[in-house]
Copies of this chain bind each other. A is one copy, B any other.
Amino acid sequence: MKSSAVYERLQTRLRDVTNLRAAAAVLEWDQEVNMPPKGTDARGRQLGTLNAHAHTLFTCEETGDLISQAGEDAEHLDPDARSLVNEAAYDYDRARRIPEVFVRRFSEARSRAYQAWLEARKRSDFALFLPHLETIVRLCREEAEYLGYRENPYDALLEGYERGMTTAELRRIFSVLGTSQRELTARIGAAQESPGPDWLRQSWDVNRQWEFSLRVLRDMGYDFDAGRQDRSAHPFTTNFSIHDVRITTRLSEDDFFSALFSSIHEGGHALYEQGFREEDEGLLLAAAPSLGMHESQSRLWENLIGRSLAFWTHYLPTLRELYPGQLDRVGAEQLYRAANRVSPSLIRVEADECTYNLHIILRFELEVALIEGNLAVADVPAAWNEKMKRYLGVIVPNDALGCLQDIHWSHGSFGYFPTYALGNLYAAQLFNTMKQEVPGFDAQIERGEFRGCLDWLRSRIHRTGRRKTAIEIIHEATGTPPEPGVFLAYLESKYGSLYNLG
């Protein structure tokens, strides 16, 4: 077969796999947003069939042959085609290292662990989850052996979420982050008046919150002809193509910020997915290179733009119109302060910018110890509570608010948490460079003009897709590899002036 014919057949195969995966994503979106309660069982079976078909189609010998034949003729391909073949080879190789029987076993264990976790969290009873978590850890260790690694079995898992990142490198980064963020949080704690301002404790009409979130998303550049926002219990972003990228948010009448920051966060993810190249549509390259890189986009929009004084300066008049009488005596500075309150708390997803990474470091340390075999699963609650006290100064009253709060372990997603912290670091590095390269950046934000920001992200990040790793992209875009310094300097500068720290 001619090399171009092989390459075309490979493209067709990859598009078919993408189509099956996209169909599964539609079914999952529907499950969270629309599905009537009795539809659950059938939906589980439908997703099972779809995922099995997609997996089989991608990992079969025929796909492997197409990839290796296309790879042999790689010198006749243009650079994009070569990238595609390389990425396909990478995914194929990783998928084929795991035996089919193990995939099924792991999948069944996850389903059971998830059900047990739901119940355990509800009753705040770690014992109910313990045997399942033991199984999950054992299977993750087994998976690491199948996947292979050089130094640490945790590296093998990490690779699935943040390619090229290592346990050793994370330890180095997190050691710097942890010390500095604990120290900063302590200084803020001493300086901050609690509780928060009285004006926040009003009722905020949810329809107005919805309207405002749509307005901000539109301003950010989110294309509603290629997406939509809905409500769901847990906000998320999903895509079925470059031209159908959907987000969800949740609305709470008591909470002025929650829906907005959810929408901006998911909007940041969505802008990334709407920004891949048209010619990559349906192929592997229309994807982020890592979860950390994906998270950098959501956090950059949510925290570095959405929690800036310029942002609130621009939107204050809009908000006063939306909530007549409710914000008459509140200025942009007060909105900015309220959006940036720092208070060490029990729950990761509610954590502020100063303390968020501390929650991640705690989880990372426990995960590594579990995978290395240096921590027994039964000892997780005690270890969790001890670290919460040490890192955040918080006493954990029960496991529901402690080590049972996250879904990730029940899903078997060991190695996932660090990407949240990396997202923060990448975001700070990107933002720092963007501010230097986009003329009049702050003034643009104050005018509600996000086009300069979006264009910069499109050209440096979005349009690259998976052609480079996150580490390469950050290095090229900012001149330095991932490192904690820029993020820490950002925190120091922002919170130093907010709290008049010496």
Contacts and interface: CB of A to CB of B under 8 A. Distances in A.
B224 A42 contact: no
B225 A36 contact: yes
Interface in A442-496: none
Interface string A256-300: 000000000000000000000000011000000000000000000
Given A27-B26, A30-B26, A30-B30, A20 B49 contact: yes
A249 to B, nearest CB: 16
A30 B36 CA distance: 14
B223 A46 contact: no
A41 interface: yes
B281 A15 contact: no
A226 B22 CA distance: 24
A30 B499 CA distance: 49
Interface string A132-160: 00000000000000000000000000000
Given A15-B45, A20-B53, A45-B15, A244 B35 contact: yes
Interface of A: 15-16, 19-20, 22-24, 26-27, 30, 34-39, 41-43, 45-46, 48-50, 53, 223-228, 240-244, 281-282
A226 B38 contact: yes
* Residue from A24, A34, A244 having most chain B Cβ neighbours under 10 A: A244
A43 B282 contact: no
Chain copies in the assembled complex: 2
Contacts of A34: 34, 228
Contacts of A53: 20, 53
Contact of A282 (B26, B30, B42, B224): B42
Contacts of A16: 49
Given A26-B26, A45-B19, A46-B23, A39 B244 contact: yes
Nearest to A17: B49
Contacts of A19: 45-46, 48-50
Given A20-B53, A50-B20, A244 B45 contact: no
A35 B225 CA distance: 9
A476 B244 CA distance: 50
Contact of A228 (B36, B49, B240): B36
A389 B45 CA distance: 53
Contacts of A223: 38
